[in-house]
Structures are given as C-alpha cells and as structure tokens.
C-alpha cells in the first residue's frame, strides 16, 4: 500500500488491533518527532486531549477552511503513499488560507478508516501531515478518529489561520477590476503533467512528485495581499474553472495572453507535447499556485503575468485570445464525474 508500510499479514498490525489509544499513541509520537505537536507552538492555549482546542487569535478574526481526500477518489494506493496524502492535504488547505492573504495557526485532522487499515499506513499519513505542518510552522491541535466500512479511508483537514500582519482585509475572489493585471505565483500544469506521466506508467520524476506532493510558496499569499492584490484564489480545479470563479465573483472578463500561456506550456512540452502541455496549463487542477489580480505596477517579483481583467462583455468569462474557456471544462466536479 505504501512504500514504507509493512504489508498487512506480514507482522504489521492494523488500526483495529491497536484501537483508538494505540493509534493516538503513534500519531502523537510522530507529530512530536517533527515538531508539529501542539505544545511546541506559542499560539496554542489548549492542544489535543481536552474537549476542544483553544488557539490565540491576534488579528481579531480567524480564517477557517476544510478539505477531504478519499481513497480511490482523490488518491490511488498504487501511486500515493500515506505520506504523500498527508503532505498534499495540508498543502491544499494552507493554500486556501494563503489565497486570502493568510497563514495557518493550527489544523484539525480527521481519519475515517477501515479497521483493517495497517497501522503503518496511519503512521505514514501522520509523517506526511507532520512534515507539511512543520514546514509551515502550524501545529496539529485536534481531530477525530472514526471507523468505517471495508476499504474506506478518508482524511479531512480543517485549517485555521489569520491574516498576516499589516493586511487590512481578506483578499476575496470578487475584487478584480477592469485594467487589473492577472498573474500567478508560479508555473502551472505541473500537477497535471505528473498525472499524465503516472497514467503512462511513470512512478517518479519532477512532475510526478509535484502531482503527488504539490508544493508552492504559501508565503506568496501574504506577499500578494501586501502588494495590493485585488482578488485571489488558488488553482485547485484548473485555470479555466478557478479563473472563471474570479471572473464571475468580480463581474469582469479575464483575458489570457497567448504568449504567456505558450511560455508556461513550453516548460512541459518536452515531456507532454505542445498541445497536451497547453491543456495542462489551462485545465490542470491540484496546482495550488495562487492566481491573483493586481493594479498595474503592483505585481510582486517572481510572479508570472498571464494577462488582465477587462470590462465584462455579457457573461463573465476567461478568454484566450478570442476563444472563451469552458468554465466547466478541464476542471473537476466531485459529483459530476
């Protein structure tokens, strides 16, 4: 199941065999090793072990977001280790905070699983959670364990955070104005490129690694907010779909520059071919780079300019030259399939 797990039936114990206390013993041990235990961070008034966590709030308001990953739906055991899953789910939650101009202050983690799940997988998951939390300086402050039917494994993370100091308000999706510059905090399409390579049989490589454990510079969220970003979102469902959300919320059209898209695609073209690379840039999800609009002249260093916001013409859309991107194309609907 996981490359570092003992396979079941070869001496590895299951979560059902060790019970709730046994699982928690493992979890708290791994968190402590990685400095992601609640006691190690200054803003935790009460950590795990009581009825609720209690976190200090400096800015007068708390950011809160939650995301779930489900085995077979959001990851395949053949491709992802427990550690991959743990890193990815923390990153995607923290990217949601970053895209408001925020930073994490604590996470709650829920594991829902089959009693037959190897304890080693649970330990791997915790290692991944702990690594990502530790890198971001965010403690695990609470959570829940629940047993579920055969084969079910689902991991939910709720991330709490605050706006970084000096940022007057959260950066919403709705603030883009005609004339703003559209930019992204890093290259797009890497996660999709990795997914294509996994489908083609690859098991490692830089794009594969980015798909399994997307990593972006979350500090660019506060950087963008301080620079005056007017709207921001992280690219979790694709440039067309997430850009469309900003366009609709703001009541603008977003116009993508063909040369900028081609530049991004060129980085992926040697592996994917040019057409697939363009599709990866325009439609690839799970990137978690930040997509934002800025007043002219305010784009932070290192961001990639993609185009700009324009006066809306009819329904708000994302356009590449004259062509409107399908807001539901190349993206992801959990139920639409």
Q: Which of 9, 10, 11, 60 binds its own copies (CB under 8 A)?
A: 60
User: What is the SS3 assignment for 209?
Assistant: helix
Select from 3, 13, 19, 275 the one that contacts its own copies (CB under 8 A). Answer: 19
Residue 86 · residue 221 · CB < 8 Å: no
State which residue, 169 or 273, has the beta carbon closest to its own copies.
169
Q: For residue 32, count other CB atoms closer than 10 A to its CB.
A: 14
The residues that bridge with 44 in the sheet, in sequence order, are 55
Q: Which of 5, 80, 99, 230 binds its own copies (CB under 8 A)?
A: 99
Candidate residues 64, 266, 274, 305; the one interacting with its own copies per rule CB under 8 A: 64
The encoded tokens of residue 164 equal 């970084």
> Restricting to residues 212-251, which ones interact with its own copies according to CB under 8 A?
232-234, 249
96 binds its own copies (CB under 8 A): yes
Q: Which of 8, 12, 79, 148 touches its own copies by CB under 8 A?
A: 148
| 153-163 and 44-46 strand pairing | unpaired
Q: What is the signed CA dihedral for 83, 28, 68, 325, rounded to 10 degrees?
A: -50
Sign for the pseudo-dihedral over CA of 204, 208, 211, 214: positive
Q: Does position 12 bind its own copies by CB under 8 A?
A: no
Q: How far is the CB of 261 from its own copies (least distance, A)?
A: 24
Cβ neighbours of 310 (radius 10 Å): 18
- In order of 55, 58, 102, 162, 169, the CA distances from 61 in angstroms are 12, 8, 11, 7, 10
Interacting positions 166-185 with its own copies (CB under 8 A): 169-170, 172-174
Answer for which of 32, 46, 276, 304 binds its own copies (CB under 8 A) is 46
- Closest approach of Cβ 141 to its own copies, in Å? 7
Within residues 126-145, the interface with its own copies by CB under 8 A covers 141-145
Rounded CA separation 80/11 (Å): 22
Both tokens of 19, joined, read 């019970």
Under the binding rule (CB under 8 A), the answer on residue 50 touching its own copies is: yes
Treating both helix axes as pointing N-terminal to C-terminal, what angle do 190-199 and 274-283 enclose, rounded to 10 degrees?
120
- What are 21's two structure tokens? 């206390």
CA 307 to chain centre: 24
Strands 252-256, 304-311: pairing is antiparallel
In whole angstroms, what is the distance from residue 180 CA to residue 250 CA?
A: 11
Q: How far is the CB of 324 from its own copies (least distance, A)?
A: 19
Q: Which stretch binds its own copies (CB under 8 A): 1-9, 67-75, 262-270, 275-283?
A: 67-75
Q: What is the DSSP letter of 15?
A: H
| Residue 36 binds its own copies (CB under 8 A) | no
**Tokens representing 271?**
């592996």
Closest CB 54 distance from its own copies, rounded Å: 5
Residues from 314 through 333 that contact its own copies (CB under 8 A): 333
The residue range among 31-39, 99-107, 210-218, 252-260 that interacts with its own copies, by the rule CB under 8 A, is: 99-107
Nearer to its own copies, 199 or 334 (CB): 334
160 interacts with its own copies by CB under 8 A:
yes
Which residue, 172 or 265, has its beta carbon nearer to its own copies?
172
Q: Which of 4, 20, 165, 266 binds its own copies (CB under 8 A)?
A: 20
Q: How many residues belong to the site for its own copies (CB under 8 A)?
A: 73
């Amino acid at each position: 199941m996981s490359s570092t797990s003992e396979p079941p039936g070869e001496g590895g114990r299951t979560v059902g065999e060790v019970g709730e206390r046994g699982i928690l013993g493992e979890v708290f041990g791994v968190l402590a090793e990685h400095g992601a235990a609640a006691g190690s961070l200054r803003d935790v008034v009460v950590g795990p072990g009581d009825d609720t966590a209690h976190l200090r709030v400096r800015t007068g308001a708390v950011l809160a977001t939650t995301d779930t990953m489900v085995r077979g739906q959001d990851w395949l055991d053949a491709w992802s280790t427990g550690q991959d899953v743990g890193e990815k789910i923390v990153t995607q939650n923290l990217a949601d905070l970053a895209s408001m101009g925020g930073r994490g202050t604590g996470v709650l983690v829920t594991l829902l699983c089959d009693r037959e799940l190897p304890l080693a997988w649970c330990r791997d998951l915790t290692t991944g959670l702990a690594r990502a939390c530790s890198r971001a300086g965010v403690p695990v402050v609470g959570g829940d364990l629940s047993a579920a039917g055969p084969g079910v494994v689902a991991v939910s993370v709720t991330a709490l955070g605050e706006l970084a100091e000096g940022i007057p308000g959260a950066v919403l999706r709705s603030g883009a104005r005609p004339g703003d510059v559209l930019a992204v905090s890093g290259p797009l399409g890497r996660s999709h490129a990795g997914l294509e390579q996994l489908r083609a049989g690859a098991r490692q490589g830089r794009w594969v690694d980015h798909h399994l454990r997307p990593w972006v510079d979350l500090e660019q969220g506060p950087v963008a907010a301080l620079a005056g970003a007017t709207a921001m979102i992280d690219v979790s469902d694709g440039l067309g779909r997430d850009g469309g959300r900003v366009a609709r919320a703001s009541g603008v059209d977003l116009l993508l520059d063909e040369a900028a898209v081609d530049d991004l695609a060129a980085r992926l073209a040697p592996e994917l071919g040019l057409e697939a690379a363009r599709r990866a840039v325009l439609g690839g999800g799970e990137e978690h780079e930040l997509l934002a609009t800025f007043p002219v002249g305010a784009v932070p260093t290192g961001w990639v300019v993609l185009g700009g916001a324009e006066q809306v013409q009819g329904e708000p859309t994302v356009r590449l030259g004259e062509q409107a991107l399908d807001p539901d194309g190349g993206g992801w609907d959990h139920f639409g399939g």
